[in-house]
Structure formats: structure tokens, C-alpha cells
């Protein structure tokens, strides 16, 4: 790959021109341009036209198709690149959603909630300085931890896509059954089991009404996962009850 870092940098913004007609297709084209500019004029125009076709894979796994399509276009296999793109969209979207949206994102958020509870009022507590716990939790766990993983996968997918080319089709099944994906649910459940009783104790202290309100709000929050409200509702409940 002649310009891997340019493609990687552009791939970070692949959702920037999202629209209902082609979803992420303009972002896909923009990320491909550093490679397509090296093609002869007529071949470049055809490759750009193919790149603007419908595209809506998971943004963190988009590098698989970016790398594979770039390789195939450079080898003059444009029609094969178009077929690969169409065939791989759904598996890449499902695999990425399962690993990140349903796994690592809520896991990192719940880990942040648990760390916040421990830092503010647990054995590591700073007592009356909750901002210290907020800063360390958000910066250390949510920002650094989660984003380090997803940036790694963006880089890895771009490199692997280029290496695999048409072999990406055979690798799709493996991507849907990653060990990290299989173990995320168990870790998420374990952290939830630790966080809820600690949240009740932190927010309520010896006040039974506070405990009742906190448990009710937390359980309500966990009934709203489809909208992504579970963790924000739980965190907001903990903070609100703690400050009242």
C-alpha cells in the first residue's frame, strides 16, 4: 500500500458525509482517493465510480474493505472489488456491531461507572472530591482504553484487508467469532453485578428512601439498552442520589 497513513487518517472520518442514499459511500471514496490517484486516468474514473456505490459497514472494520478494494483496484480487478464490497458489507457490519457497539462500548462505560464508585466512595475514595474521580475515570478508562482498542482495530483491518484481497471472504467467518467478542458478555455481566450493589451503598448510605429511588432508577435505566440509555441513566442516578 503506497499511502497507508493517508488512508488510515481519512478512514477516521468515513462517517463524516453520511447520507440516506449511500450511507458512508462518500467517506469510503474519500478514504480511497490516496490510492486511486495512482491509477491511470480511465481506470481511476471507473474505480471512483465503483467506490461511490452503497457502503455501510462498521466504521472500525472499514479498513478491511478499504485495504482489499485498494489492492484489487491496483491489480486491475475492479469488478471483483465491487463484488467483494457488496458481499462483505453485512458480515463486517454485524461483526463490528457485536464486538464494539454491543460489547466493548458498554463494557468500557460500565468499567468507568465502577471505577467512579470506587474512587469517590469506595476503598480508593477521595471523599469530598468527586471531580477527581470523574477526571480519572473518563480520561483513563473511557477515552484511553476504548479508543486505544478501536484505533488498533482500524490499523489492523487496513493492513489485513490489503494482505487478504479476495481472501477477505474466507476470513469473514473468523471475524464474527473473535475470542474478544465471546468473552465480552461475561465480563460485562460480572462488572454489572459488582456495580449495582456498590451504587446502592454509595448513593444511599444509611438512608433507605435513597436506596429505593436509586435501585428503581438503575433498573429503569437497564431496561433502555436499545437507545443506549442504560449506562447514562445509571450514572446519572448514582450522581444525583449521591449529591442530594
Predicted pLDDT at 123? 47
- Residue 124: CB atoms within 10 A of its CB come to 12
Q: Does the pLDDT at position 41 exceed 50? A: yes
pTM of structure? 0.72
Residue 221 has pLDDT above 70, yes or no: no
Higher confidence at residue 167 or residue 205? 167
- Name the residue ranges covered by the structural domains of the chain: 4-243
Place of cell 484505533: 151
- Residue 27 confidence class, pLDDT cut points 50, 70, 90: very high
Helix ranges, 144-229 (H): 147-164, 168-175, 179-204, 208-222
pLDDT over 70 (residue 220): no
Question: Bridge partners of 19?
Answer: 23
What is the average per-residue pLDDT within 67-79? 90
Sequence-ordered list of residues with C-beta below 8 angstroms from that of 66, at least 6 positions apart, any chain: 7, 11, 28, 31, 32, 157, 158, 161
CA dihedral 69, 53, 80, 2 (to 10 degrees): -20
Per the model's pLDDT, the better-predicted residue between 109 and 1 turns out to be 109
Say what the pLDDT of residue 205 is: 54
pLDDT at 111: 75
C-alpha angle 37/43/47, rounded to 5°? 70
Q: What is the pLDDT of residue 146?
A: 82
Amino acid at each position: 500500500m503506497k499511502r497507508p497513513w493517508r488512508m488510515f487518517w481519512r478512514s477516521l472520518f468515513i462517517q463524516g458525509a453520511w447520507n440516506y442514499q449511500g450511507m458512508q459511500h462518500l467517506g469510503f471514496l474519500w478514504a480511497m482517493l490516496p490510492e486511486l490517484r495512482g491509477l491511470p486516468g480511465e481506470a481511476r474514473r471507473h474505480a471512483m465510480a465503483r467506490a461511490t456505490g452503497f457502503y455501510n459497514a462498521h466504521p472500525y472494520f472499514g479498513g478491511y474493505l478499504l485495504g482489499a478494494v485498494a489492492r484489487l483496484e491496483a491489480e486491475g480487478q475492479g469488478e471483483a472489488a465491487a463484488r467483494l464490497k457488496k458481499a462483505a458489507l453485512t458480515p463486517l457490519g454485524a461483526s463490528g456491531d457485536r464486538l464494539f457497539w454491543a460489547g466493548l462500548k458498554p463494557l468500557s462505560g460500565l468499567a468507568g461507572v465502577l471505577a467512579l464508585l470506587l474512587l469517590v466512595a469506595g476503598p480508593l475514595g477521595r471523599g469530598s472530591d468527586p471531580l477527581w474521580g470523574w477526571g480519572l475515570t473518563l480520561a483513563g478508562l473511557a477515552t484511553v482504553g476504548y479508543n486505544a482498542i478501536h484505533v488498533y482495530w482500524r490499523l489492523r483491518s487496513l493492513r489485513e484487508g490489503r494482505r487478504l484481497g479476495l481472501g477477505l471472504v474466507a476470513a469473514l467467518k473468523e471475524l464474527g467469532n473473535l475470542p474478544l467478542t465471546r468473552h465480552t458478555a461475561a465480563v460485562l455481566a460480572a462488572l454489572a453485578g459488582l456495580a449495582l450493589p456498590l451504587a446502592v451503598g454509595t448513593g444511599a448510605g444509611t438512608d433507605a428512601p435513597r436506596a429505593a429511588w436509586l435501585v428503581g432508577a438503575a433498573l429503569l435505566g437497564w431496561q433502555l439498552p436499545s437507545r443506549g440509555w442504560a449506562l447514562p441513566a445509571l450514572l446519572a442516578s448514582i450522581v444525583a442520589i449521591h449529591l442530594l
